[in-house]
Each structure stands twice: as C-alpha cells, then as structure tokens.
Amino acid sequence: MQNYFQNSITFDEYIKETERRIAVQNPEDDHNEYYELGLQRMNRTLKTFKIDKEQLNVLKSKNFKGKILIISEPWCGDASATVPAVTKFFEAADIEVKIFLKDSDTSLIEQFLTNGTQSIPKILILNENFEVKNVWGPRPQFGNELLKKFKENPETYPREEFYNDLQVYYAKNRGKDAITELLELL
C-alpha cells in the first residue's frame, strides 16, 4: 500500500491532470466528454464546500494518525462530487491525502471491487504503517439508495432521472454525508 501511496498524486495535481486531459483530448480515451463536466463539478464543490466544525471535532477526537488514499478518475461523476470535499476536509486536519488514478494501474482497484465492478471513488483509510484500516465508496448511502431504486425498476425511475437526482443531491449535500460516513469508519 505504501508503494501505491507514493505513486499517487495530490489533489492539485489531480486538477492539473484533468485540465491536461481536457486540453489534449486523446482520441483513444472513451471519457473525453466527461473531463470538462468533472472539472466543473469539482470546481463547484470547491467553491461551495465549507469545513464543518463539528465534523472536524469528531475527527480530532478519533486521534487518527494515518493517511487517506483515494482511488479515482476525473471523468467519474461520483468522484467529482466527493473527492474535493473529502480531500479538503482531511487536509484541513493536516492528514495527508493522495489520489491514485485507477486507469493508470487497475491492480489497486481490483483489490476493492464493489459487487464485482471497479466502481470509484474508493477511499482507503490507512494507518501510519500504510495498512488498510477501512474502505469507503463509491458513493454515500443516499446515493446507493438512489442507485438501488433505479436498478430495481428502470421503467418507473429512468437512468436520466436517477443521474439528475444524484447530482442534485451531491450539489446540495456538498460532501457532508461522505465525510460523516468516513468518520464512522475511522
């Protein structure tokens, strides 16, 4: 895990990589159309996100000495809503956060599949020895409930409505639920 952490990037580098991918537009990349949307969502989250003092106090009370490793990609809608808030929250408490780009090496995500899929983001809570203490992701419980509703009956809850409801939730929630759930796992 230490190797993965050392080969990961900071959030600022993640943003720069997103901007680079927008500028380059690799024709072999199936996600080109999602980079700009992802960047817009990340910027919106950064603009509206505020550190919740209560959550920060909970974090401090846990005396967490580890690190946070996020498996992500900038094209992912769930990641664009969650990664900026989670990163800024933990960095505010002087906890190192790094992002491992899933598509650069799938060996890490293969260890943390969701129902057999490489769903992201996955947030790994590491102790000071780089051992995985807990795993969160790819979305908060409310998002999982929306997904379940869509999968159970796509005729009455179509994909477009599910995606819209999920993005509205993310925009209003601003990462608070993801952080609360992560704090419970510390």
What token pair was written down for 161? Answer: 């409505």
Find out if CATH 3.40.50.1360 is the number for domain 2-138+180-185. Answer: no
DSSP letter assigned to residue 72: E
Can you tell me whether residue 1 is helix, strand or coil? coil
Q: Which residues contact 105 (CB under 8 A, 6 or more apart)?
A: 7
Kindly report the pTM of this predicted structure: 0.95
Tell me the three-class secondary structure of 142-162, residue by residue: HHHHHHHHHHHCCCCCCHHHH
Strands 67-72 and 97-101: parallel
DSSP letter assigned to residue 178: H
Task: Residue 83: name the closest of 65, 66, 101 by CA.
Answer: 101
The domain ranges of the chain are 2-138+180-185
**In whole angstroms, what is the distance from residue 138 CA to residue 120 CA?**
5
CA 134 to chain centre: 15
**Per-residue model confidence (pLDDT) at position 33:** 86
Q: Per-10-residue mean pLDDT for the chain, 186 residues long?
A: 97 97 87 92 93 97 97 96 97 97 97 97 98 98 96 96 95 95 97
What token pair was written down for 62? Answer: 């846990």
